[in-house]
Amino acid sequence: MAKNVKIAIRNLYKIFGPEPEAALEHVRQGASKASLQDEHGHVLGLKDINVDVHEGEVTVIMGLSGSGKSTLIRHLNRLIEPTTGEILFDGEDVLALGEEGLRTLRRQKMSMVFQKFALLPHKTVLENAGLSWEISGQGREAYEEEARKWLARVGLEGSEEQYPHQLSGGMQQRVGIARALVSNSPVMLMDEAFSALDPLIRSDMQDLLLELQAELHKTIVFITHDLDEALKLADHLVILKDGEVVQQGDPQGILLQPNDPYIVDFISDINRARVLRVRSVMGPVNDAESFAGDVLETDNLESVLAKSGGDVSQVFRVVRNGQPVGRLAMTELTKALVPTEGSGARLS
CA 159 from chain center: how many Å?
Answer: 28
Residue 344 has pLDDT above 80, yes or no: no
Query: What is the pLDDT, as a whole number, of residue 348?
Result: 37
Query: What pTM does this model have?
Result: 0.87
- Torsion angle defined by CA atoms of residues 175, 176, 177 and 179, in that order, rounded to the nearest 10 degrees: 80
Q: Region 284-306: what's the mean pLDDT?
A: 91
Q: Which of 57-61, 201-205, 283-287 has the highest mean pLDDT?
A: 57-61
CB 154 within 8 A of CB 207: no
State pLDDT tens for residues 79-133: 999 999 999 999 999 999 999 999 999 988 999 887 777 889 999 999 999 988 8
Cα–Cα distance, 212 to 111 (Å, whole number): 15
State pLDDT tens for residues 235-246: 999 999 999 999
The overall average pLDDT reported for the chain is: 91
- Could you tell me which residues are beta bridge partners of residue 111? 188
State pLDDT tens for residues 310-336: 899 999 999 999 999 999 999 999 999
Q: What stretches of 217-344 show up as alpha helix (H) in DSSP? A: 227-233, 251-256, 261-267, 272-275, 278-281, 301-308, 330-336
Residue 20 has pLDDT above 90, yes or no: yes
Domain 53-249 in CATH 1.10.3720.10? The answer is no
Residue 341 has pLDDT above 70, yes or no: no
Closest CA to 112 of 62, 52, 173: 173
Q: How far lies 146's CA from each of 110, 117, 141, 150, 327, in Å?
A: 18, 20, 10, 6, 46
Q: Strand 43-54 vs strand 5-16: parallel, antiparallel, or unpaired?
A: antiparallel
**CATH fold for the domain made of 273-336:** CBS domain Like (3.90.1280)
Exposed e or buried b for every residue in 110-147, given b needs 16+ CB within 10 A? Answer: bbbbebebebeeeebbbbbbbbbbeeeeeeeeebbebb
State pLDDT tens for residues 191-243: 988 888 888 888 998 999 999 999 999 999 999 998 889 999 999 999 999 99
Query: What is the pLDDT, as a whole number, of residue 2?
Result: 63
Phi, psi of 218 (to 5 degrees): -70, 160
> Hey, where are the domains in the chain?
53-249, 273-336
Q: Region 302-316: what's the mean pLDDT?
A: 93
CB 307 within 8 A of CB 295: yes
Query: What is the pLDDT, as a whole number, of residue 99?
Result: 93
Band of the pLDDT at 346, cuts 50, 70, 90?
Answer: very low
Cα–Cα distance, 17 to 184 (Å, whole number): 37
State pLDDT tens for residues 244-255: 999 999 999 999
Band of the pLDDT at 340, cuts 50, 70, 90?
Answer: low
Q: Region 56-62: what's the mean pLDDT?
A: 97
Radius of gyration (C-alpha) of the chain in whole angstroms: 23
